[in-house]
Amino acid sequence: MDQTFIAKGLPIAFHGTVIHSLSPTDLQILPNTFLLIDTAGKIQALVPNTAPETINTLVAENGYAPDVFPVKHLPRTSFLIPGFIDTHHHAPQWAQRGVGRGRSLLDWLENITFAHEAKFADPAYAEKMYGAVVDGLLNQGITTAAYYASKHLDATKILARICATRGQRALVGRCNMNRHAPDWYRDADAEVSVAETAEFIAWMRGLDVGGGDGDGDGEAENALVKPVITPRFAISCDETVLAGLGELARQNPDLPIQTHFNEAEQEIEFTRQLFPGFKHEAELYQRFGLLGERSILAHCIFLQEEEMEVLKSAGCGVAHCPISNTTMQAFMVAPVREYLRRGIKVGLGTDSGGGHSVSMLEVMKQAFVVSTARATETRGADPALGLNECFFLATLGGAQVCGLEDKVGSFAVGKEFDALEIVAEGGVMTPVEDDDSIEIVLEKFLMTGDDRNIAKVYVRGRAVKV
């Protein structure tokens, strides 16, 4: 394995504007800020309103030699923001993005998606395509991704290794699906489905995956890549599989769980037919031990009142995927304002390839559009999301959903430095004028910028953009 992201690096510091969220409504813009990252990639100092002439003193106070210490001074049109966090991404659908518009969810799965994912039985194909996925997301500033892999154990291991060697923080899950898929693309039986997931977890535990402590136990506190228990959705998993995965979740209390949840009316009705003994999906997953503060629930479009109460009390997170929800057969609007009002954790997901874009900037804009539709639909009872809220969902909100808020998502002393260095000029971005405030510059970037304005991408203090 490439040791680039395991070996200790050099400390570095920045002086300039730093922008991050503390809550959905509290956006902090910190000018003239001194930010120092230590050799472990953690933030050692964060000092706003630092005069340039005091930087050497701050460097010395933090234990470094001022004369040789690297400090990067950011110009007025550049700033640092936290890395984007994609809470829902199907890695094996990379080559099918944009294909299948106008189809229902189940039709799209059965006639397009399963055939694409089946290709990952070939390790060489998996190596090629997963390399493109990880490079593509890093170039878009996505420093953390929650990945669904295919059902193939070997290919899922390949995805985890690529994330580690290329320096992306990731949750990687082997997809469980033992029914309601073609014979050539489903687990042989329930026992195989659960056993291969257990094997993948054990393999990850035994591997120093991207930043471990080097003792080979794979469980270092700062490991970049973790396994995630991944029942595709209830339709594709029978009760034996769900029970087995629930037991794995009980045995591995540190691991997250991800699944699709109340995504489409057709899917919800089919789930009711398959599990007639349950009132709703929340009760179903809770009964099998798959609902809790580690759960990442994708979509959450049509939740009943009782289900929202369960999500809040259990501490679940919602992966809001506004692009895929509005570009398939139906225009589906998740009640994100209601989730935030109730204190339910919410982050954003690209949902590639149901979502045609892997740009988190595009996802943020679509989240704004969808929330405006929701405001119209509710006659103003659910106000549209503001720009600051969408930024929060793409950063700290996503970290909360993935259980990583103590590590990333904002800038605080002790957190790991996952960040984007933005150059707010060039490409198709709205030109920055001399009298623009930093608030206006940020808005121009969020609304009109793209990956060309993301000059550097850092994961735990190391540059990873290709």
Return all residues near 403 (Cβ < 8 A) that are at least 6 apart.
256, 293, 294, 317
* Phi/psi-derived region of residue 460, left when phi > 0, alpha when psi is between -120 and 50, beta in every other case: left
Q: What percent of the chain has pLDDT over 70?
A: 95
Q: What is the dotted CATH code of the domain comprising 12-82+410-465?
A: 2.30.40.10
C-alpha count within 13 angstroms, C-beta hemisphere, residue 107: 10
* Among 267, 237, 234, residue whose Cα is nearest residue 106: 267
- Which of 186-195, 198-207, 217-226, 368-377 is the least confident region? 217-226
CB-CB contact of 326 with 370 (8 Å): yes
H or E element: which one contains 36? strand 26-37
Tell me the pLDDT tens digit for each residue of 270-308.
999 999 999 999 999 999 999 999 999 999 999 999 999
Distance CA 305, CA 303 (A): 7
Position 264 scores a pLDDT of 84
**pTM, whole model, 2 decimals?**
0.94
Q: 3-state class of 135 per DSSP?
A: helix
Mean pLDDT of the chain: 92
- Is the Cα torsion angle 434, 439, 444, 446 positive or negative in sign? positive
* Nearest in space to 61 (alpha carbons), one of 34, 31, 29: 34
- Give the start-to-end residue ranges of the domains of the chain: 12-82+410-465, 84-402
Burial of 392 (0-12, 13-18, 19+ CB in 10 A): buried
Determine whether domain 84-402 maps to CATH 3.40.630.40.
Answer: no
The rounded Cα 167 to chain-centroid distance in angstroms is 15
Whether 420 has a pLDDT exceeding 70, the answer reads yes
Q: Which of 98-107, 227-236, 366-375 is predicted with the least confidence, judged by mean pLDDT?
A: 98-107
**Pair 444, 432: CB distance under 8 Å:** yes
Tell me: the pLDDT tens digits for 383-413? 999 999 999 999 999 999 999 999 999 999 9
The average pLDDT across 33-62 equals: 97
By CB atoms closer than 10 A (0-12, 13-18, 19+), residue 414 is exposed
User: Which residue type is seen at 299?
Assistant: H
Q: What is the mean pLDDT of residues 459-464?
A: 96
Name the percent of the chain lying above pLDDT 90: 84
Residue 184: C-alpha distances to residues 110, 116, 189, 270, 345 (Å)? 12, 12, 12, 22, 37
Residues in CB range of 187: below 8 A, 6 or more apart: 151, 176, 177, 178, 193, 196, 241
Angle at 148 between CA 143 and CA 152, to 5 degrees: 125
How confident is residue 215, by pLDDT bands cut at 50, 70 and 90?
very low
> What stretch of H or E contains 345?
strand 345-348
What does the alpha-carbon distance between residue 156 and residue 200 come to, in Å, rounded to a whole number? 8
> CB neighbours of 276 closer than 8 A, spacing ≥ 6?
none
Number of residues assigned to the chain: 466
pLDDT digits (tens, 9 = 90+) for 62-111: 999 998 899 999 999 999 999 999 999 999 999 989 887 778 877 878 88
Report residue 170 as tokens. Answer: 């990731």
Condensed to tens digits (0 to 9), the pLDDT of residues 186-212 reads 999 999 999 999 999 999 988 755 444
